[in-house]
Every structure is written in C-alpha cells, then in structure tokens.
Structure 1
Amino acid sequence: MGVEIESDIWEPNPALYIFLFVCCCLSIFYLPARATASNVFDHASSASFLRFQRNFLVLFALSSVLEGSRAVFGEYEFAIYKLTKDQMVNTLCIGYAASVLAGSFLGVVSDLLGHKKVVLLFCILHLCTSVWKIVVGAQVIWLGTITLSVASLIFSFSFEALMVVEHNKLGQRQDSLNDMFWLMTFFECACFVGSQAIGNYLINGDVNKNITNIWKESVVVALLIIVHLSRSWKENPKSASFKDYSVLFRRHVVGDKRVWLLSWVQACIHFSTAAFWILWAPTIVADGREVSLGLLYPCLLGFKMLGCTGFPWMSHGPLATRIEEYLMYAFVVIGVALTVVAYDYQEIEFLLIIFCLLHACIGLVLPSLARLRSVCVPNEIRGGMMSLSLVPANAAVFVMLLLRGYYQCIGNSTILAIAALGQFSAAWCMYTMKKWGKQLHLSEHSL
C-alpha cells in the first residue's frame, strides 16, 4: 500500500491583510493636525499647486505600476525561459553593470537638460523593451535587462528631482514638500501591490501562455504616461552650462561634508534593499520549506506604507524630533534585523516579523532622507548627487553577485552581514550630522 505524503505550503494568516489595511487607513485618517488628509491635498488653497500635486501623483502612480510590473515579474521570466543559474547571475550582473555606468552621468544629464526629458526616457525604455519582448521573446532578455536596469535607476532619482524643482517654482512652503515625500513612498508601495494584482489577473493561472499580457499592459501604461507627461508638463529649457554646473557641484557637494555623509547613507540603504530583495526568497525557503512567496510580498510593502506614514508624526507631529536622531535609531534597527536574518536560523513566522519591521523602518527612512537632501543639496544638482550616490551601491551588488554566483567565495549570510554593517555605518553618519547640527546651533546662539 502506497503512502502519499502531503506537503503543506505556508501562507500568512488572512487577518494580517485586514490588519494592514485598517492600520494604513487609520494612519492616513489620524495624521497630525498640520498634515491631515484634507490639508495634504489642499495647501494654502493654491489652485496651481493643487493641480501640480495631483498631476504629479498620477504620473508617479502610473510610473510605479510600470516599474512594479518589472519588479514583480522581471526575474520570474528567467525561470520561464529556463535559464540556468549561471545565466541568471550573468543577467543580473549585466543589469547592475549598466546601472553603474549610467549612474555616473544620467543624474548630471537630468540636471542639465531637464528632469522631464529623463522621465520621458524612462517611459521610452519600458515601452521599447515591452515591444521587443512581444515581438522577439526570449532572444531579447539580455538587452531588456540593460534597458530596464537603466529605467529603474531613473525611477530612483528623477521623479523626486522633478517634483522638488517644480514644487519650488510654485513657491510653496516646506510642509507641502514634506507631505509629497511620504506620499511618493506610499503611492509607490500601493502601486507595486496593484501591479502584482493586475499581473496575476492577466496571467490567469497560465504563465507560459499569458506572459505576453504583462508586456502588453506595460505598453499601454507607458503610452498613457507619455501622453500625460506631454500634456501636463511644460519644462523651461535649462540655461546653465556644464562649466557652471561643475563649479556649483564642487562647491556644494565636494565641499560640504554633510553631502558626503548623505551620499554614503543613500548608498547603504540602496545596497541593503537590493541585497534583501535578491536573497529574501532563498532565506525564507531554506531547508526545503514551501512558502507562498506571492502572498508575503504585499505584506512587506504594506508595512513599508505604514512606516512612511510615520514621517509626518516624526517631522511635525506630536512625536517631532530631529530627523538625524530618529534616523539613527531606524538604521540601528535595520542593521540588527539584517544581522538576525544573516546568522540566526528562524521559523517562517519570526522571519516574517523581522522582514516587516525592516520594511517599516525603510518606509520611514526614505522620505526622511529626501527631506535632508532638500536641506543640504541645491535643487540644481539634486539629480547628479542622487545618481552618483547610487554608483557605489550598484557596484557593490555587482561584486557580490560575482563572488557569490560565479566563484562561490561568500555565502548569503556574509552578504546580509555586509548590508547590516552598512546600516550601522549609516547610523554613525546620522549621529555625526546630529552632532554637527548641535555645534552649529550653539555657535549661532553664542554669537
């Protein structure tokens, strides 16, 4: 008599999704008095700013759906096309190498030529890649990896730079800019979850047959963004020359130690996030555990949404404190979480708690760093500073993929440990900026 052994696939409790939804709704509804839901979308009753705010959030939401489709299903295509492990590693390495090369100049180009043009390039890259995949299929996977990696790089800096520049042109106060920072993180996560839901609907249970529906969706969304961007934005041509730009860059970036610290912090959080998303699945399915990873993805993004709503409370709410101070503790928590994941085997439930805590902290960190950049970095060089700060992070991921994938010199735990060390160093950077801020305040008070 044969015995059939059933294998249970672990899934999160459905009550967790209800809990996340209720918490996110409450966090929006009970924002601090200066950042209530009505005030967030009605600053100083300025019709021009309100129109800009809504147009930008529509643009950013559509772009997040486009980027989310790539983030959710991009690497899954490797398995569909039956790529070997070495081919997958090679593809990822090519993508990060392209990001390193493009990051060294794309931000500068964005500052000189205009952020709208670079955002338009983001849409064109997605559009062309999706059309190529529909027509050619698997033969274009290498080229698609390069173009989509460059598009992801643009997504990481150009939309924020565009929003800040246009915001300042309208002469709005700082409170409205702070709200836009956390709203961008909130909308990004919500649209990533929406991309997963749309993708699952389009695939309809048959990945091999319906995978082209994902690319067709990307074509439609990219065309909508191009039309919206062309009709809603009229960007003035840049008048600054490269010589003037380089002088301004050296004066504010090279000569300001705060910018160096912010660049390092940005690189650390980018590297840690990239390392996590590459290794989270192998970590949670260790020892042959079967887990429904698609159900964990929205949980992580939900906690990131919840974390970003803490920014109004920490910046100008009842819990208001210095940004450097609470960021210092947030980086320590992220570092401890990565250390636990790296060196301590845990059950799935505990790992999920650690992952959710980590993403809640990241959700708080991202708008806070954007706020610090607004204080320390002039808008004229914001894109260049952000893209250049991502170069060492992408280069580090590239090296880690080579050492782990090809040469088997290091393990997953070592990569996560390096990411944890980066977070502890980011906490030290925040401590240093906090100390410098206190010294500057005391010197001004003595004068």
Structure 2
Amino acid sequence: MYTFVFLWTPALSPNDEEIPHGFIFATFMLASMLGSSFASRLLAHSSLRVESYMQIVFIISSASLLIPILTNFLETPPDVRGGGISLSGSLQLIGFSTFEACVGIFWPSIMKMRSQYIPEEARSTIMNFFRIPLNVFVCVVLYNVDAFPITIMFGMCSIFLFIASVLQRRLEGIAESQKSRSQDWTAIRESDREAEPLNV
C-alpha cells in the first residue's frame, strides 16, 4: 500500500493527462471506507475465520494491481500528450478502487489477527521490528522509482500480494492444527478425570 500511494498518479497519467486528483483520492478513501464497513460485517460472523477470507482479499488485491500491466499491453500510448483520462486510465482507476477496498478490509482484519497471535506485552516491539524492513523496502523503491518501469513496480507488488495469500493459507493450516491438538488434549484430560476413582 505504501508503494501504491506513490505509483497511482503516474499510472493514471503516463502522458501528462489532466486527471482530477482530488476526486480520485476521494474515490479511493470512499472505497477504503466501504471495505472497512464490509470487514466489520465479516468479523461479526463467528463462523467465518479471518485467516480464510483474507486469502481471497490478497488474491483480489494481487489481481487488481495487475491491471496496469495488462492495459499497458492492450492499449498503445497516444502521440499527443495531455488531454483527459484515457480508457486504460479508467480501467486502472476501477482496479485501484478495488485495491483500496481490499486495504479497507485488511486493516480491521489484521488487527484481529494481531490480537490472536501476538502477545499483548510484546506486540508493539514485534510490530516495530517488522516496520524496519517495510520502511527500508519502501525507501529503496522510491529511490529507484525512475530505474524501473512502472509496470515492473506493479508486478512486484502483485507478486508480493500473491505470496501473502499463500502465507495466509499456511497460517490457517497451522491454526487449524493447533486448534485440533488443543481439542484432543482437552478430551484426553476430561477422559482421565472420568476414569479416576472417587475418593471416599
């Protein structure tokens, strides 16, 4: 998301098109708000696991950031610079709004998973350690933003989101195995208690 913030403007106006930045940013914020509202409904269902639906969210996010790459191959750039937003820009705007909606789902869901898997007394320390490589990565990308085509940047983000989906599935498997072990251990303890003779 931090990389996307710096990439959406050049992606929507590669030929210096006149785009309504304020309107587009407001659209992104609206999409993010709708995503957060939808996440609250998802979290309200006790039968629906966060680890499960976040796999779909990461896949959709990955696919939405592939749209700039696809439109780059489908549409040839015009000879005249300037003008309004192009057809490829409109398609990218739809994809970016979808991505922002996924970001809106992501934040409440990741907070839920943090409370489940990271102990509260060490949560801030652990999260600060993870912010170090994140900030380094963002700085490296921004420093070399002119060295790579914008399609490469979006391709990298899409690949990382797909990897996040795979890791999310792995986390779900680990959580399920731990839950089944805990249930088995509880059942064994209950059976042992029932087997103990009554002390008279």
Q: TM-score, normalised to structure 2's length?
A: 0.79
Aligned amino acid, residue 391 of structure 1 = I
Which of 419, 423, 437 does residue 157 from structure 2 map onto?
Answer: 419
What secondary structure is seen at the aligned counterpart in 2 of 1:287? coil
Alpha-carbon distance change, 435 to 303 in structure 1, aligned in 2, over 3 angstroms: same
Cα deviation for residue 401 of structure 1 reads 2.4
Counterpart in the other structure of 1:437: 175
1:339 aligns with 2:104: no
Does residue 369 of the first structure (1) align with residue 110 of the second (2)?
A: yes
- The corresponding residue for 1:329 is 56
**Secondary structure of 1:404's match?**
coil
Q: Which has the higher contact order (CA 8 A, sep 6+)?
A: 2
Supply the AA of the counterpart residue of 2:23: L
3-state SS in 1 of match to 2:18: coil
**Structure 1 runs not aligned, ≥5 long:** 1-272
Distance 1:334 1:418 in 2: 12
Of 87, 93, 104, the residue aligned with 1:352 is: 93
1:418, 1:353 → 2: CA distance? 20
Cα deviation for residue 279 of structure 1 reads 0.9
Distance 2:92 2:132 in 1: 30
Counterpart contact for 2:67–2:92, Cα < 8 Å: no
Query: What are the superposed Cα offsets for residues 262-316 of structure 1, whole Å, 9 maximum, x if unpaired?
Result: xxxxxxxxxxx11111010000012232211111111100110010011222122
Instruction: List aligned pairs for 1:134-149, cutoff 5 A.
Output: none
Q: Deviations over 1:154-188 (max 9, x none)?
A: xxxxxxxxxxxxxxxxxxxxxxxxxxxxxxxxxxx
CA contact (8 A) 1:328 1:431 kept: yes
Query: Among 27, 30, 40, which residue is 1:299 paired with?
Result: 27
Name the amino acid aligned to 2:36.
C
- CA offsets, 1:9-36, max 9 Å, x none? xxxxxxxxxxxxxxxxxxxxxxxxxxxx
TM-score, length-scaled by structure 1: 0.37
C-alpha separation in 1, matches of 2:50 and 2:116: 11
Residue 402 of structure 1 deviates from its aligned partner by 2.7
User: Any unmatched runs of 5+ in structure 2?
Assistant: 73-86, 186-200
Q: CA deviation at 1:404?
A: 2.8
Q: Does the Cα contact within 8 Å between 2:55 and 2:165 map onto a contact in 1?
A: yes
Residue identity opposite 2:151 in structure 1: S
Number of positions where the alignment pairs a residue of Structure 1 with one of Structure 2: 171
- Structure 1 vs Structure 2 CA RMSD: 1.7
Secondary structure of the residue that 1:288 maps to in structure 2?
Answer: coil
Within 1, Cα distance between the matches of 2:160 and 2:65? Answer: 10
The answer to whether the Cα contact below 8 Å between 1:343 and 1:413 also exists between their aligned partners in 2 is no
2: CA distance between counterparts of 1:387 and 1:279?
Answer: 25
Distance 1:411 1:386 in 2: 31
**Runs of 4+ displaced beyond 6 Å:** none
> Displacement, 1:371?
0.8
Amino acid at match of 2:177: Q
